[in-house]
Amino acid sequence: MTTLQKGDKAPEFSGVDQDGNKHALADYKGKKLVVFFYPKADTPGCTAEACDLRDNYERFQANNYALLGVSADSAKAQTKFRNKFSFPFPLLADEDKSVINAFGVWGPKKFMGRIFDGIHRTTFVINEEGIIDEVISDVKTKEHASQILK
């Protein structure tokens, strides 16, 4: 699991969104970046989380934040998810888990008594210089924006 902490330099990640556009940490220099990892597109918790961020998107923009969602879903699944809920931010289709592993959010999970490997719902708030300002591992899906925009 993640060993990244507040004050650490964010990983130099690079990934492709639902439309095939490339995103890298360097693209966001000078902006605050919220990178939120979610287990699976269009599932109840992930939908609640992403919709809460969408509904507060103007507040994020007003405070110089960019948002980037990441899961191991295919570009097709991410496109469907984005279009269904009109998300104004990109969703990385990290099928090879390179971004997920760079941030250390892949690992054993327990669900209904079963243990399996998957994405741990975690959000990283990265400042304008590429330093992690906050790691949120106890994500409240229906009020996630207020966890970030305190």
Helix (H, G, I), strand (E, B) or coil at 99: helix
Q: 88: which strand partners?
A: none
Instruction: Check if 51 is active-site.
Output: no
What Cα–Cα distance (Å) separates residue 98 from each residue in 2, 86, 89, 103, 107? 14, 26, 20, 9, 14
Please identify which of the residues 34, 46, 70, 105 carries the catalytic annotation. Answer: 46
- The rounded distance, in Å, linking the Cα atoms of 108 and 131 is 27
Inter-residue contact 15 to 94 (CB < 8 Å): yes
Residues with active-site annotation: 46
